[in-house]
């Protein structure tokens, strides 16, 4: 299972990288959102979270639990990446309002001062 | 802090209060307050002559950074004393001269004297310090003070150009020198020059000997304007004339000479030192004297002549270092070069100082220094003309002035070289006196040009800007008169210097050569009999005069027209090239496109990780530790890959949001499979909110346009993306395998066991979040809060241009 999830994460990274290299600001933000999924899946896998065991709630199952630490880390990470995505999105919205474009090439700013 | 230390830093202390004198005593020229100090110091150091001439040294130590071996140790022997007397003596005269030269109404005298005192203190520190690091510190202060003084009239473009150039070149040398000093420390374990000389075997036997030597010499050569680093000196002539007289003829440019003389005891005796110092010196001598005759500006002539004379002293120090090769007492065959160097050092300081001052007087009284406009000043300015004549005759090497004596000694030293019988000198050595002789001819020629073009011929008042040309005020003449008198005095009675200054200085340059109690025999003769040196002098006079008389012919040539040194083009071109090159590099890599920067980052990560995997062969894959795959995972995976891969190809706004949402929900589903209920819940909620947010934003955003089709770039993007994804996958798989092999148990057992006991909770994840690792959660809440505020601010705050306060 770990290998499968790692490969899935690799696909996510590939697509995210491809999106970040786009010309459109929105695709870049979508790319970062997808990149964070890859990170979460990798934390889960690397932290040994896929081992056989029951839900990490005491009293459940037969006494072996999956690793709870990576879950806690991912939970923190999900919230933070949500916050960052929200800010980036609003930033993109305001950028479009002010400059009238969402094309990164047109947002290059002034030529050499 | 001893008296000597206070004496050394006294110029800095005085520099602090000088601006107050300038501000509150407007009626008195600030220079008078300044002049007292070098005069007192000069008298104080004069009183130390009996100490050094009896072979004693004075050592005063004050700890500065003892843990690093850096101490403010002062050390006075013959060489240091000679230099401090030059610095304070000529310093006094220069300050006196500047009082009459610079107007107390028009000029910013506070700046001038602060810089000058700063320079004086730094120079005293350089020549008195025993510690290499302390020398370096003072050395750089001289560079800074010199640049400040060159750019004293900073509104002139040429001044700032000259200051910048001298700064670049001397600081380049200074930093090299610091490298050399560090290598000396590596070899000997001490920064003290005395201790390094005492342990000189450690240096001569070391593999670092040559690098250290070259680095130190770079410092000395740049400071002393040796070929090809001499180009800063002519441009430094934009400084006020007292500065040129003081810094760029008598003191600062001799700091490199001092360093070479001081370290002869460390590096001397080796063929490399001998050849590098000698050849650089002779090249500089030749180049400077040839360049000087084509200058049209009095100060430029003097600048190139300074370059040339410094080369002369440097070559003598190089030749004299052979004394260490033989290391046998007072053998005049080998030590006469050092004698000539020390003697010429004194002579040059006297006559060059007076010549700069007279050039300044001419400039001050006529408004020009261009020899094409000057002429016939002899009857108008008789005193200036007399002093100039004395100085120029001495520089040209005519009897009975002191320059004649040192030039004879110079020829003697160069002629002796063929008799050394080392370093192939019996064959190549004959070149040395020939070069020296030819250079002396040119020296004679430019001295003639300077005198006759300025003081004889027709007086051309129509070319001058001033109405009435007259002799300078007496105050301005005092200093050059004193220096001119010294030229005559040292010329007629050279031996008043012999055992007071020259012999102790020689003993300091060549420590360990003499037996205890022995002294160098430095009786300087006027008349040697009909020896080769005398005929060489005749030749110099005859051929030099020939060059001057045929000046009309060769002055038409392009050689004479091109004043600028060819190395200036190298410097300017290199400087412009450096700037253009740096701009070009920046323009290529700093495109302003996010895409390009991301490509750099990804490529770098791919290359560095790929190379590391290849280099250390860490790719490993082990199936033993893996969990089994549930059959339904395959279905989930296929949906997942399908939705993920389709994201870049969708060009519909709503479609792309929905598919991205699908990816998020599949991730949530995976969390369910991985038995992470809290994660699944959070992921579902967050994904929902994110999708809503995207919808909101997209309502205001334009339609997604199809990415412009650029097959090559898209393939490149794909290549980078696949490479990045693949490398991440490989690293993850290897890391997982190795994590299994490392054999460390997870820390999570602790959380499982203690969640109930210590925290009183059943949900282990929640207990970790709010109890065991509560700090993370607190700051995560902070992040969310900041994000919320940022969103509000971005939407609400609409300041334009200058409205934001």
Model confidence pLDDT, tens digit, residues B610-633: 999 888 887 777 777 777 788 888
Residue numbers in B near A89 (CB within 8 A)? 693-694, 697
**pLDDT score for B402:** 85
Q: Which of B542, B299, B564, B557 is nearest to B440 (CA)?
A: B542
Q: How far is CA B458 from the centre of its chain?
A: 46
How many CB pairs below 8 Å do chains A and B form together? 252
Interface test with A, best of B580, B653, B670, B748 (most A CBs within 10 A): B748
State pTM to two decimals: 0.82
Nearest-Cα distance to chain A for B162, in Å, is: 28
Mutate to test the interface with B, among A9, A20, A44, A81 (most CBs of B within 10 A): A20
- Whether the Cβ atoms of residue B332 and residue B323 lie closer than 8 Å to each other: no
Identify the domain containing residue A98 by its residue range: 2-105
Can you give the CATH number for the domain in which A63 is found? 1.10.287
Residues of B in contact with A53 (CB under 8 A): 675
Examine residue A82 and state whether it is found in any structural domain, yes or no.
yes
| Cα B249 from Cα B303, distance rounded (Å) | 8
Give the pLDDT confidence score for residue B706 in this predicted structure.
61
Q: A85 vs B690: CB contact, 8 Å cut-off?
A: yes
Query: From CA B541, how far away is CA B552, in angstroms rounded?
Result: 19
Residues of chain B below pLDDT 50? 804-805
B768: DSSP letter: I
Interface of B with A in 215-244 (CB under 8 A): none
Tell the burial category of B530 from Cβ atoms under 10 Å away from its Cβ (0-12, 13-18, 19+): exposed
**CB-CB contact of A10 with B644 (8 Å):** no
pLDDT for res B710: 66
Looking at residue B804, its pLDDT comes to 46
User: Hey, how many other C-beta atoms are within 10 angstroms of the C-beta on B616?
Assistant: 8
In chain A, the residue whose alpha carbon lies closest to the alpha carbon of B695 is: A89
Q: Exposed (0-12), middle (13-18) or buried (19+): which is B490, by Cβ within 10 Å?
A: buried
Please check whether residue A98 lies inside any domain of the structure: yes
Alpha helices in chain A (DSSP H): 2-20, 25-46, 69-99
Contact yes or no for A91/A98 (Cβ under 8 A):
no
CA–CA separation, B297 and B372 (whole Å): 8
User: What is the sign of the dihedral through the CA atoms of B118, B119, B120 and B124?
Assistant: positive
Does some domain include residue A110?
Answer: no
Q: Burial code of B2-41, b = ≥16 C-beta within 10 A, e = fewer?
A: eebbebbebbbebbeebeebbeeeeeebbbebbbebbbeb
pLDDT at B138: 93
Q: Is this prediction's ipTM beyond 0.85? A: yes
**Per-residue pLDDT, A112:** 45
Minimum-distance CB partner of A86 among B633, B726, B791: B791
Cα separation, B124 vs B90, whole angstroms: 13
* Structure confidence at residue B750 (pLDDT): 87
Strands (E), B57-144: 58-60, 63-65, 70-71, 74-76
Q: Which residues of A touch B682 (CB under 8 A)?
A: 75, 78-79
Provide the pLDDT for residue B425: 66
Spatial distance between the Cα atoms of B681 and A79, rounded to a whole number of angstroms: 12
- According to DSSP, the β-strands at B70-71 and B74-76 are unpaired
Mutate to test the interface with B, among A9, A16, A37 (most CBs of B within 10 A): A37
* β-pair partners for B70: B65
**Secondary structure of residue B370 in the 3-state scheme:** strand
Report whether B362 contacts B452 (CB < 8 A): no
Compute the distance between CA of residue B679 and CA of residue B682 in angstroms, rounded to an integer: 5
Chain A: give the shortest CA distance to residue B615, in Å.
Answer: 22
Domain coordinates of chain B in residue numbers?
Answer: 1-267, 284-555, 748-805
Phi, psi of B526 (to 5 degrees): -85, -35
- What pLDDT was estimated at residue A96? 82
Number of domains forming the structure of chain A: 1
**Main-chain phi, psi angles of B62, to 5 degrees:** -135, 125
Which backbone phi and psi does B432 adopt, to 5 degrees? -60, -55
Cβ–Cβ contact B748 with A under 8 A: yes
**Tokens for B453?**
């073009």
DSSP assignments along B622-664, one per residue:
-STTPPPPPHHHHHHHHHHHHHHHHGGG---HHHHHHHHHHHH
**Cα(B787)–Cα(B507) distance, rounded to whole angstroms?**
76
CB A72 within 8 A of CB A39: no
A112 located within any domain:
no
């Amino acid at each position: 299972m770990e290998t499968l999830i790692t490969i899935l994460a690799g696909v996510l990274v590939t697509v995210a990288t491809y999106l970040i290299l786009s010309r459109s600001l929105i695709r870049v933000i979508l790319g970062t959102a997808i990149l964070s999924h890859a990170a979460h899946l990798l934390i889960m896998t690397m932290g040994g979270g896929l081992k056989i065991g029951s839900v990490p709630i005491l009293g459940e199952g037969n006494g072996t639990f999956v690793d709870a630490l990576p879950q806690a880390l991912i939970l923190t990470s999900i919230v933070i990446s949500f916050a960052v995505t929200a800010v980036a999105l609003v930033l993109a919205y305001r950028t479009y309002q002010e400059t009238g474009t969402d094309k990164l090439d047109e947002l290059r700013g002034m030529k050499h001062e | 802090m001893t008296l000597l230390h206070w004496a050394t830093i006294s110029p800095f202390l005085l520099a602090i209060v000088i601006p107050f004198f300038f501000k509150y005593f407007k009626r008195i020229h600030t220079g008078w307050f300044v002049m007292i100090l070098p005069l007192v110091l000069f008298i104080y150091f004069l009183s130390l002559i009996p100490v050094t001439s009896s072979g004693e040294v004075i050592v005063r130590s004050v700890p500065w950074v003892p843990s690093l071996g850096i101490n403010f140790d002062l050390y006075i022997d013959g060489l240091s004393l000679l230099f401090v007397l030059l610095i304070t003596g000529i310093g006094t005269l220069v300050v006196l001269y500047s009082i009459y030269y610079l107007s107390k109404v028009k000029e910013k005298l506070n700046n001038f004297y602060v810089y000058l005192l700063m320079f004086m203190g730094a120079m005293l520190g350089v020549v008195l310090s025993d510690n290499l690091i302390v020398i370096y510190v003072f050395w750089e202060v001289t560079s800074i003070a010199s640049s400040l003084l060159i750019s004293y009239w900073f509104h002139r473009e040429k001044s700032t150009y000259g200051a910048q150039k001298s700064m670049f070149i001397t600081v380049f040398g200074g930093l090299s020198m610091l490298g050399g000093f560090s290598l000396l420390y590596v070899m000997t374990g001490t920064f003290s020059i005395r201790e390094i000389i005492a342990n000189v075997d450690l240096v001569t036997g070391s593999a670092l000997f040559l690098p250290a030597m070259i680095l130190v010499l770079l410092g000395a050569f740049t400071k002393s304007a040796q070929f090809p680093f001499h180009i800063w000196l002519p441009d430094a002539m934009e400084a006020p004339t007292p500065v040129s007289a003081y810094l760029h003829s008598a003191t600062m440019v001799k700091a490199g000479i001092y360093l070479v003389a001081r370290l002869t005891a460390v590096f001397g005796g080796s063929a490399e030192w001998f050849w590098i110092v000698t050849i650089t010196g002779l090249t500089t001598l030749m180049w400077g004297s040839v360049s000087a005759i084509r200058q049209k500006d009095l100060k430029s002539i003097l600048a190139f002549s300074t370059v040339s004379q410094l080369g002369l002293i440097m070559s003598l120090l190089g030749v004299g270092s052979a004394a260490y090769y033989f290391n046998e007492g007072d053998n005049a065959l080998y030590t006469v070069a050092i004698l000539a160097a020390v003697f010429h050092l004194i002579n040059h300081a006297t006559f060059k100082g007076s010549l700069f001052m007279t050039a300044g007087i001419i400039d001050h009284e006529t408004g020009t220094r261009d020899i094409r406009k000057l002429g016939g000043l002899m009857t108008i300015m008789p005193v200036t003309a007399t002093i100039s004549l004395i100085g120029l005759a001495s520089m040209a090497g005519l009897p009975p002035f002191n320059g004649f004596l040192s030039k004879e000694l110079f020829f003697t030293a160069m002629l002796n070289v063929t008799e050394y019988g080392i370093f192939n000198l019996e064959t190549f050595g004959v070149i040395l006196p020939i070069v020296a002789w030819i250079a002396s001819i040119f020296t004679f020629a430019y001295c003639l040009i300077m005198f006759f073009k300025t003081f004889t011929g027709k007086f051309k008042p129509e070319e001058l800007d001033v109405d009435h040309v007259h002799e300078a005020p007496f105050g301005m003449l005092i200093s050059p008169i004193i220096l001119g008198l010294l030229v005559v005095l040292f010329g007629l009675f050279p031996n008043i210097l012999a055992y007071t200054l020259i012999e102790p200085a020689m003993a300091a340059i060549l420590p360990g050569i003499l037996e205890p109690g022995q002294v160098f025999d430095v009786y300087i003769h006027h008349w040697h009999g009909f020896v080769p040196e005398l005929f060489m002098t005749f030749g110099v006079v005859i051929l030099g005069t020939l060059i001057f008389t045929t000046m009309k012919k060769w002055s038409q040539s392009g050689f004479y027209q091109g004043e600028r040194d060819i190395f200036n083009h190298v410097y300017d071109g290199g400087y412009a090239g450096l700037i253009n090159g740096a701009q070009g590099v920046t323009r290529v890599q700093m495109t302003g496109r996010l895409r390009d920067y991301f490509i750099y980052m990804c490529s770098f990560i791919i290359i560095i990780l790929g190379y590391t995997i290849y280099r250390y062969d860490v790719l490993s894959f082990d199936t033993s530790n893996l969990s089994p795959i549930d059959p339904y995972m395959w279905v989930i995976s296929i949906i997942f890959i399908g939705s993920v891969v389709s994201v870049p190809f969708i060009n519909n706004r709503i479609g792309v949001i929905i598919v991205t949402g699908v990816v998020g929900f599949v991730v949530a589903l995976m969390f369910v499979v991985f038995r992470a209920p809290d994660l699944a819940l959070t992921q579902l909620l967050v994904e929902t909110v994110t999708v809503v947010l995207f919808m909101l934003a997209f309502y205001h955003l334009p339609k997604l346009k199809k990415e412009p089709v650029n097959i090559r770039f898209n393939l490149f993007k794909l290549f980078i993306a696949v490479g990045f994804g693949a490398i991440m996958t490989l690293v993850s798989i290897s890391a997982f395998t190795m994590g299994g092999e490392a054999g460390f148990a997870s820390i999570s057992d602790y959380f499982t066991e203690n969640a109930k006991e210590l925290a009183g909770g059943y949900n282990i994840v929640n207990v970790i979040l709010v109890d065991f690792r509560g700090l993370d959660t607190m700051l995560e809440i902070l992040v969310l809060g900041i994000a919320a505020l940022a969103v509000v601010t971005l939407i609400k705050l609409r300041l334009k241009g200058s409205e934001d306060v």
